[in-house]
Structure 1
Amino acid sequence: MSLIVYTVASLFTVTALLIFRRPRLALRDPLTASTCVSIFLGGLCFFCSAPVTLGAVNEVTHVPNFGAPMTYSVISAYSASLLILLINWRGGPAERVRSQVVRVATVYSLVIVAVITLFALAHAPVERLRDLDTYYANTPYMREMIVLYLLGHGACAVITIYVCLRWSREVTGILRLGLRLIMAGLAVDVLGFECAKSTAVVARWAGHDLDRLSTGLAPRAAALGALLCAAGFVLPRLLPATLSQWRSIWDYRALGPLWAELRNVPTAPKPAPPRWQLPRGRLYYRELRILDALLALQSRCDGRVRETAYRQARGQGSPPGEAHFIAAAAMVVDAAHQAGRPGPPEGPGPEGGSRLHTALFSDTGELVRLARALAGSPVVRAAREGAARTARS
């Protein structure tokens, strides 16, 4: 059991670190900060509830079952953090958001104080690492403490499901998916954890033994529900950035032929890029170098080459948009070969520069289309061969 909860706690910690990778920016954003706090507390819940952790805490404090109020307090804090995260995520007027956050924090702070107070008043001399809820279900003050933390966590789950259900009807896309994951996770938590724990406790009140629901089903349901819930909160925040980085990898590779054509064009010196970069940063530096090279080729671009290539591309059946990029690629290839030869630039100069300026922009998609035309068009291949023959002569 300890291995399961420690694994879940580790997953929560890694997720929190991914979101909190820029601490200064994260602390300025209430949504990011509350997301990290909620995920961290979720992981802490599982860490504290592990029998190994409970045993170590009891031994260090020399208080039997001291780990119980500690774990219940963390669960209550986690419940409050879920509600606060949902409030910040939903947004609205700043004053209303602040007021709601204060109310939630106040209520669950009182719950935590009550849990600790009830434990202090109770008499629980026998250490129970796995079945404390049912073992002490009929013990004065311990009984009230157990019911209180279950009610606090259950109220959080029901309120969050209700708000997410209403909100999911107003939004679409990945945000709706995230809300549905949250609802699914909380539904698993309510049915698998809350109901199982409550049923086992009530069974003890009635003189029956259903402890296996509390010790077997509840921890596993809590782990699954918490993972689904965390995925629902994190997915809308991390998935767009992840997809952006993934697209950057493909765009970086797609620009390879264009960069290979232009990498030897003399340009103004630039600072060396950082050695370790995410794909988006690598793509940015490649685009910057390509654009610098294209600007350096302005005076060598020959509009006649572009017009000829455009007619050839149209004659081969290319649509106007594709022919536009094929013609621009042919002109770039010709200009790049000119840049490799000594002497003044050839061609009409200003007219060619104007045509290059209207053909190419700093948009990544257009640079990728230019690179694909340069790599795959027979018209561009013929232009390259013609430029090479001119260079040899």
Structure 2
Amino acid sequence: MSLLVYLGGLMFGLTSVLLARRPRAALRNPLTLSTWLAIVLGALVFVCAAPPTLAAVNDLTGIPNFGAPLTYGMLNAYSCAVLVLLINWRGGPRARVRRLVLRTVAAYGLLTVAIVALFALAGPDTERLTDLDTYYATTPYLREMILLYLLGHSAAMLALCLVCLKWGREVTGSLRTGLRLIVLGALLDLVGFQLAKYTAVVARWTGHDLDVLSTHIAPPMASLAALLCSAGFLLPRLLPPVLAHRRALVDHRRLEPLWALVGPASTTPGPPAASRLLP
């Protein structure tokens, strides 16, 4: 399971590296920068969520389960970055964009503070590396902490789906294909990862055990969602140059008959005409 989680981080990580291979002027663009930041934070979420990383963080800090609020805080940062990306994507007056960005950052900042505070109040002392969400689903404070991080992420993914669906109808070519892949990834995140988490947690609230949804279904669904979203972000950037190169090759091949005719022709200058030799 750890391999699948790290695989999701690897997909986002490779995407961020490819997107960063642009001129510095392009990286200063708010839209480009917010896209890159969202992908980097997505990669960090997967790295933090992997059980070996959680165990290392817990050992390093000496606090059982400290990796949980760290991961949830990183997930909040990723969700916030996705919303900031959508705000910059939509555009508008600079003052309005800045105001919306600040409000979004403030909201998710407060959400992260609340998650850390609830974790501190609960003080869970039994380390859980793979099933913390369900093991502590009925524990006071931790119950609210788990619900808060899920709701914050759900809001961002739902907004991403709606916006990409709307814009996908207004564009064509590789950009439309990329938006559709992002929609598929976000939907898989909502249905495959988050719905599985919600169902397992609510099952615990009602005295049932559906932990398998949270521990064995949700992680691979999240990794697959990351793969689709990564492809959606990369396709509009990588596909046009590939198609342009392919068209150039086709054009060169079309010139082959002409080359067959002119290729054997001598390029050595001929003797001067007789008229040019007369005084």
Structure-to-structure mapping, 1:306-321, within 5 angstroms: none
What does residue 271 of structure 1 align with? Answer: none
Structure-to-structure mapping, 1:30-45, within 5 angstroms: 30-45=30-45
2:58 is aligned with 1:87: no
Partners of 2:111 and 2:230 in 1: CA distance: 23
Question: Could you list the runs of 5+ residues in structure 2 that have no partner in the other structure?
Answer: 274-279
2:4–2:219 contact (8 Å) kept in structure 1: no
- Deviation at residue 108 of structure 1 after TM alignment: 1.0
What does residue 355 of structure 1 align with? Answer: none
1:20–1:26 contact (8 Å) kept in structure 2: no
Q: Structure 1 runs of 4+ off > 6 angstroms?
A: none
What does residue 277 of structure 2 align with? Answer: none
2:229 is aligned with 1:229: yes
1:27–1:33 contact (8 Å) kept in structure 2: yes
Deviation digits for residues 335-387 of structure 1 (CA, Å, limit 9, x no counterpart): xxxxxxxxxxxxxxxxxxxxxxxxxxxxxxxxx97x6465123xx357x25x6
- Deviation at residue 23 of structure 1 after TM alignment: 6.5
CA RMSD of aligned residues (A): 2.5
- Deviation at residue 160 of structure 1 after TM alignment: 1.7
CA separation of 1:92 and 1:236: change in aligned 2, threshold 3 A: farther
The number of equivalent residue pairs is 273
Partners of 2:270 and 2:27 in 1: CA distance: 61
CA separation of 1:226 and 1:389: change in aligned 2, threshold 3 A: closer
CA separation of 1:92 and 1:205: change in aligned 2, threshold 3 A: same
- Deviation at residue 212 of structure 1 after TM alignment: 0.2
What does residue 299 of structure 1 align with? Answer: none
Q: Secondary structure at the match of 1:208?
A: coil
Structure-to-structure mapping, 1:114-153, within 5 angstroms: 114-153=114-153
- Deviation at residue 158 of structure 1 after TM alignment: 1.3
Partners of 1:206 and 1:24 in 2: CA distance: 54
Question: Comparing both chains, which one has the higher relative contact order based on Cα–Cα distances under 8 Å and sequence gaps of 6 or more?
Answer: 2
CA separation of 1:11 and 1:163: change in aligned 2, threshold 3 A: closer
CA separation of 1:246 and 1:88: change in aligned 2, threshold 3 A: farther
2:9 is aligned with 1:9: yes
2:48 is aligned with 1:57: no
Deviation digits for residues 145-190 of structure 1 (CA, Å, limit 9, x no counterpart): 0000000001111122122222222222222222211111111111
- Deviation at residue 245 of structure 1 after TM alignment: 5.0
Deviation digits for residues 50-87 of structure 1 (CA, Å, limit 9, x no counterpart): 00000000000000000000000111111111111122
| TM-score w.r.t. length of structure 1 | 0.64
2:75 is aligned with 1:191: no
Partners of 2:92 and 2:233 in 1: CA distance: 18
Question: Could you list the runs of 5+ residues in structure 1 that have no partner in the other structure?
Answer: 255-367
Partners of 2:46 and 2:40 in 1: CA distance: 10
Partners of 2:34 and 2:201 in 1: CA distance: 33
1:184–1:228 contact (8 Å) kept in structure 2: yes
Partners of 1:218 and 1:381 in 2: CA distance: 63
What does residue 207 of structure 1 align with? Answer: 207
Partners of 1:92 and 1:241 in 2: CA distance: 29
- Deviation at residue 134 of structure 1 after TM alignment: 0.3
Partners of 2:29 and 2:269 in 1: CA distance: 60
1:20–1:32 contact (8 Å) kept in structure 2: no
Deviation digits for residues 283-330 of structure 1 (CA, Å, limit 9, x no counterpart): xxxxxxxxxxxxxxxxxxxxxxxxxxxxxxxxxxxxxxxxxxxxxxxx
Identical-residue share of aligned pairs (%): 56
Structure-to-structure mapping, 1:224-373, within 5 angstroms: 224-245=224-245, 250=249, 254=252, 372=256
CA separation of 1:389 and 1:19: change in aligned 2, threshold 3 A: closer
Partners of 2:140 and 2:263 in 1: CA distance: 87
CA separation of 1:230 and 1:89: change in aligned 2, threshold 3 A: farther
Q: Secondary structure at the match of 1:63?
A: coil
Partners of 2:263 and 2:192 in 1: CA distance: 65
2:189–2:222 contact (8 Å) kept in structure 1: yes
Partners of 1:33 and 1:72 in 2: CA distance: 23
Instruction: Give the counterpart letter for 1:117 in structure 2.
Output: A
What does residue 157 of structure 2 align with? Answer: 157
- Deviation at residue 131 of structure 1 after TM alignment: 0.2
Instruction: Give the counterpart letter for 1:139 in structure 2.
Output: T
Instruction: Give the counterpart letter for 1:376 in structure 2.
Output: A
CA separation of 1:154 and 1:25: change in aligned 2, threshold 3 A: same
| Higher Cα radius of gyration | 1
CA separation of 1:141 and 1:31: change in aligned 2, threshold 3 A: same
What does residue 375 of structure 1 align with? Answer: 259
1:188–1:225 contact (8 Å) kept in structure 2: yes
Partners of 1:79 and 1:244 in 2: CA distance: 35
Deviation digits for residues 262-295 of structure 1 (CA, Å, limit 9, x no counterpart): xxxxxxxxxxxxxxxxxxxxxxxxxxxxxxxxxx
- Deviation at residue 215 of structure 1 after TM alignment: 0.2
Partners of 2:263 and 2:165 in 1: CA distance: 58
What does residue 298 of structure 1 align with? Answer: none
Q: Secondary structure at the match of 1:209?
A: coil
Deviation digits for residues 26-71 of structure 1 (CA, Å, limit 9, x no counterpart): 4311122111111111111111010000000000000000000000
Instruction: Give the counterpart letter for 1:39 in structure 2.
Output: I
CA separation of 1:124 and 1:37: change in aligned 2, threshold 3 A: same
Instruction: Give the counterpart letter for 1:181 in structure 2.
Output: L
1:38–1:81 contact (8 Å) kept in structure 2: yes
Instruction: Give the counterpart letter for 2:123 in structure 1.
Output: H
Q: Secondary structure at the match of 1:149?
A: helix
What does residue 77 of structure 1 align with? Answer: 77
Partners of 2:109 and 2:169 in 1: CA distance: 32
